[in-house]
Amino acid sequence: MTRPPGPPAAVETIVEAWLEDGAEHVTLTARGHPPWSWGPSSGDGTPLTTSALTVLVEGDLPAARIAHDTKLLVEILDLAESAAEARHRLATVMRFEVPADVDVATTLQSTVDQLADVLAVARVTINVETEVGPRTATSAAPVVDPDRSQEATATRALPLNRGAGTLSIVGGDAINPEILDALARRAASAIDLSITYEESIATVRLQNEYELAERVQSRMLPRRSVPQLTGFEIFAESRPARLVGGDFCDFQGGTGRPTFFSVGDVSGKGLPAAILMSMTMATLTNKVEYLPEPTPEAIIARANEDMYSHFTDVGMFATAVVGKLDPEASSVSLANGGHSPVVYKASGMPPELIAPEGTPLGVLDETFAKDRTLRLATGDVLVVASDGLNEQRDSQGEMFGYHRLLATVEALADQPARLIAIGLFSAVRAFAGGAEQDDDQTVLVVRGVPRTTPSFQAELDADLEALRGLPKLLDEAIARHPGRRAISDDIRTGLELAIHEVLTNIVVHGYADTRGSITLRFGGDTSEIVIDIEDQARAFDPLEAPMPDLDAPQVHGYGMFLVRELMDTTEYGRRGQTNHLRLIKHL
Amino acid sequence: MTTIPVSGRFDTLAAPDIKAALEAEFEAGTRTFVVDLSNVSFMDSAALAVLVSLMKRCRADGGDVRLIAPADEDAARILRLTRFDLVFDIHEPT
């Protein structure tokens, strides 16, 4: 128990002077205090009452002096009152400790809980609207009895630098408005600080994540270009919506293996999606390379088995269409694990949607994807697009949809693969109007095109001496080529050097001084010259030779570099016991 | 400084002989070569390998290899394409 506070010292001094000058007893009753008394009371005095103080004096003291001094006492007590008030206010405000948390949510909660405690009110609520979004916090347990009024008893605007906010107090005694203002200011500065922290941390985190995700992708994405296959024309492009997307498009196999494509979409964004995308692509490539009989269905099933637990761990999944291109049969077999329907247009027929039969990778321990074979002869077109195209919305929120996708493919089906893809991107962009690209957009187009018929064919002994006959042979081939008028001296020498380098490589590295022969076939039309070079040496891809570092000349490695520089397309494949190299030069 | 003329096809077949001739000069003490390619009609990557190998040995000994470019446009193009024009001091044929 603390004793009730005694009168202020100045009051004591005045009363003591009264007692010395004739007063026998004094009682002062100040508002808000228990009475203060001095000397034994005889009970016959007359109280003097003012609004703030009642004075009872017994004994022999002039009334005029009492009246005069009472005014003084009132002033002294007023001063003391306001000093006590100020001390109390300070104490109250100081009990509110500025929260040191860095995130806005924790700061708000700790602020409202503290305010409810400091102010002894039923409930404190703060609403803020900031650059990091709207936030609300309400104090936890009521600290006063529930019978109290639940009406808002006070509301203050929070003077935030970085947004707007209000502080509401429900229930409890009337609160000194100055205390409330001071508390609101303190709370606002704490909240401001937490908003600043949260924004800067969010920015740094986002930048790091994007940088990291981009690095992961650029390291792991194969730099392989679109394969060149006899009888097919292929084009692929991916346009990410944000910095790092979840779409992927890749080609596998090729050297001595069938050529595969995979188009897919990993759910989610940012670093986890980028890592999973890279893992998925690596897994698909691995399946193509190492499955004894790789089929799209088997690749999806085995990849799902490998990836299932990784996806489950992070609550993500990936859709994928895997296709195997068969140039011999002019067909593609494909399996679809939960990806958007592919568009297939047979020559002379309207385009149709082929819906996925399988579930995405990472959803179930089985995908149910099944192989389906489609003819891809001249005039047939396959379009594998991601859902970023058909789901693109315009400013009214309408989706591009499959009907527009089909109509666009129909209109463009006779165009080269590249123009079909670019046309699809353009149609979707035009439809969106000014609306932002919602999601990654990926398009792979495979068209069946005529196989070139050779206009000239020759067989050479696999012998360096035989290469000396190349200029003459080339002159003959050019003379019979449909595009001969467009073959300049520069192009001719380029062709000679490129073929010369390939033949030298086959003789020296392929046959390696064993006997054999090399077949040269020249084909193409007025727009390009196609040279097919075949040999029966050991499996050997001359294009795998390392690129020379042009700034640090070395003794080897120029041959295949020259071939690539001089030709527009170079492509290697192994069929049975035959190495096949195709060179294409545009005219 | 010794000028070595090369003519005709400077390719995989001719390269070993030309390389042997250049190396004989090198053994005889020559460290600054002018390889005159003005009458060369065709060069391949084997020719480039011979020139680079000689250039490296000469430069290691304080010498160098200069080239006179083939008069033939197509043969000269190889030197540009491989950026040999940056590596070698190349003079136009007279």
Put simply, the answer to whether A558 touches B49 (Cβ < 8 Å) is yes
A145 pLDDT band, cuts 50/70/90, is low
pLDDT for the residue A475: 92
Put simply, the answer to whether B44 touches A504 (Cβ < 8 Å) is yes
Q: Which residues pair with A232 in a beta bridge?
A: A448
CA gap B14, B75 in Å, rounded = 15
SS3 A126: strand
What is the greatest pairwise CA distance in chain B? Answer: 33
More confident site: A549 or A485: A485
Put simply, the answer to whether B82 touches A508 (Cβ < 8 Å) is no
A118 pLDDT band, cuts 50/70/90, is confident
A101 pLDDT band, cuts 50/70/90, is low
Q: What percent of chain A has pLDDT over 70?
A: 85
Helix (H) or strand (E) holding A107: helix A104-119
More confident site: A381 or A172: A381
Residues from chain B that touch A468, judged by Cβ atoms under 8 A, are: 9, 13
User: Is pLDDT of A372 > 60?
Assistant: yes
Whether the CB-CB separation of A130 and A160 falls below 8 Å is answered with yes
Q: Which residues pair with A252 in a beta bridge?
A: A260
pLDDT digits (tens, 9 = 90+) for A483-523: 889 898 888 888 998 999 999 989 888 888 788 899 999 98
Give the amino acid at A144. V
* Residue in A464, A494, A558 closest to B45 by CB: A558
Give A462→chain B minimum CA distance, Å.
14
pLDDT for the residue A221: 44
Q: Which two tokens stand for residue A546?
A: 């390392």
Q: Which residue has the tokens 């020498």?
A: A493
Backbone phi and psi for residue B16, each to the nearest 5 degrees, phi listed first: -60, -40
Q: Which of residues 527-556 of A touch B (CB under 8 A)?
A: 548, 550-551, 553-556
SS3 A422: helix
Average confidence (pLDDT) over A368-384: 92
Instruction: Nearest chain B residue to A563 by CA: give it.
Output: B45
Tell me if chain A has a CB within 8 Å of the CB of B82.
yes
Nearest one of A276, A127, A72, A107 to A198, comparing CA atoms: A107
More confident site: B60 or A210: B60
A540 pLDDT band, cuts 50/70/90, is confident
Give the C-alpha distances (Å, rounded to integers) separating A411 from A238, A274, A544.
21, 35, 40
pLDDT for the residue A1: 39
Backbone phi and psi for residue B75, each to the nearest 5 degrees, phi listed first: -70, -35
CA gap B75, B48 in Å, rounded = 12
Whether the CB-CB separation of B66 and B43 falls below 8 Å is answered with no
pLDDT digits (tens, 9 = 90+) for A394-426: 888 899 999 999 999 999 998 888 889 989 999
CA gap A284, A289 in Å, rounded = 9
pLDDT for the residue A553: 46
Low-confidence winner among A145-154, A276-285, A487-496 (lowest mean pLDDT): A145-154
Put simply, the answer to whether B12 touches A467 (Cβ < 8 Å) is yes
Residue A213's region, left for phi above 0, alpha for psi from -120 to 50, else beta, is: alpha
Q: Which of residues 367-396 of A touch B (CB under 8 A)?
A: none
Put simply, the answer to whether A558 touches B74 (Cβ < 8 Å) is no
Give A516→chain B minimum CA distance, Å.
18
Put simply, the answer to whether B77 touches A554 (Cβ < 8 Å) is no
Q: Which two tokens stand for residue A459?
A: 């067989």
Instruction: Nearest chain B residue to A508 by CA: give it.
Output: B12
Instruction: Nearest chain B residue to A492 by CA: give it.
Output: B74
Average confidence (pLDDT) over A451-480: 85
The chain-wide mean pLDDT, for chain A, equals 82
pLDDT for the residue A346: 92
pLDDT digits (tens, 9 = 90+) for A295-349: 999 999 999 998 888 787 777 888 999 999 998 888 999 999 989 899 999 988 9
CA gap A271, A245 in Å, rounded = 10
Instruction: Nearest chain B residue to A500 by CA: give it.
Output: B44
Residues from chain B that touch A490, judged by Cβ atoms under 8 A, are: 73-74, 77
Q: What percent of chain A has pLDDT over 90?
A: 21
Put simply, the answer to whether A508 touches B49 (Cβ < 8 Å) is no
Nearest one of B69, B74, B3 to B39, comparing CA atoms: B69
Nearest one of A440, A448, A390, A446 to A418, comparing CA atoms: A446
User: Is pLDDT of A360 > 80?
Assistant: yes
With a CB cutoff of 8 Å and minimum separation 6, the contacts of A203 are none
Give B68→chain A minimum CA distance, Å.
19
pLDDT for the residue A204: 61
pLDDT for the residue B5: 94
Give A488→chain B minimum CA distance, Å.
11
pLDDT for the residue A100: 58
More confident site: A93 or A527: A527
Give A557→chain B minimum CA distance, Å.
8
Helix (H) or strand (E) holding A498: helix A489-505
Tell me if chain A has a CB within 8 Å of the CB of B11.
yes
A262 pLDDT band, cuts 50/70/90, is very high
Q: Which of residues 423-452 of A touch B (CB under 8 A)?
A: none
More confident site: A191 or A81: A191
Put simply, the answer to whether A558 touches B13 (Cβ < 8 Å) is no
Exposed/middle/buried for residue A504 (C-beta within 10 Å: 0-12, 13-18, 19+): buried
Tell me if chain B has a CB within 8 Å of the CB of A565.
yes
Q: Which residues pair with B39 in a beta bridge?
A: B7
pLDDT for the residue A409: 95
Average confidence (pLDDT) over A73-97: 73
Put simply, the answer to whether A493 touches B11 (Cβ < 8 Å) is no
Average confidence (pLDDT) over A451-456: 74
CA gap A166, A168 in Å, rounded = 6
What are the DSSP E strand ranges found in A355-431? 372-375, 381-385
Average confidence (pLDDT) over A149-176: 77
Mutation pick from B9, B12, B77, B90 vs chain A, by most beta carbons of A within 10 Å, is B12
Put simply, the answer to whether A554 touches B44 (Cβ < 8 Å) is no
Put simply, the answer to whether B84 touches A501 (Cβ < 8 Å) is no
Q: Could you count the other beta carbons within 10 Å of the beta carbon of residue A283? A: 21
Give the C-alpha distances (Å, rounded to integers) separating A259 from A289, A322, A358, A457.
10, 11, 22, 27
Helix (H) or strand (E) holding A456: strand A456-461
Q: Which two tokens stand for residue A436?
A: 């932002």
Whether the CB-CB separation of A235 and A444 falls below 8 Å is answered with yes
Q: Which residues pair with A164 in a beta bridge?
A: A129
**A227 CA to centre of own chain:** 30
pLDDT digits (tens, 9 = 90+) for A212-242: 666 555 544 444 467 878 789 899 888 877 6
Give the C-alpha distances (Å, rounded to integers) separating A95 from A98, A154, A190, A206.
9, 20, 14, 37
Nearest one of A483, A562, A498 to A533, comparing CA atoms: A498
pLDDT digits (tens, 9 = 90+) for A32-77: 778 888 988 887 777 888 877 889 898 888 888 888 888 888 888 8
Tell me if chain A has a CB within 8 Å of the CB of B59.
no
Tell me if chain B has a CB within 8 Å of the CB of A491.
no
Residues from chain A that touch B52, judged by Cβ atoms under 8 A, are: 553-555
Residues from chain B that touch A554, judged by Cβ atoms under 8 A, are: 52
With a CB cutoff of 8 Å and minimum separation 6, the contacts of A111 are A99, A126, A137, A187, A190, A191
Tell me if chain B has a CB within 8 Å of the CB of A558.
yes
Low-confidence winner among A124-128, A228-232, A479-483 (lowest mean pLDDT): A228-232
CA gap A183, A197 in Å, rounded = 21
What radius of gyration do chain A's Cα atoms show?
A: 44
pLDDT digits (tens, 9 = 90+) for B63-81: 999 999 999 888 888 787 6
User: Is pLDDT of A552 > 90?
Assistant: no
User: What value of ipTM does the predicted structure carry?
Assistant: 0.85
**A385 CA to centre of own chain:** 21
Give the number of C-alpha atoms closer than 13 A to the C-alpha of residue A475, restricted to the C-beta side. 4
Most confident of A14-23, A451-460, A566-575: A14-23
Give B94→chain A minimum CA distance, Å.
22
Helix B45-60 and helix A489-505: axis angle, to 10°? Answer: 80
A90 pLDDT band, cuts 50/70/90, is low
pLDDT for the residue A447: 93
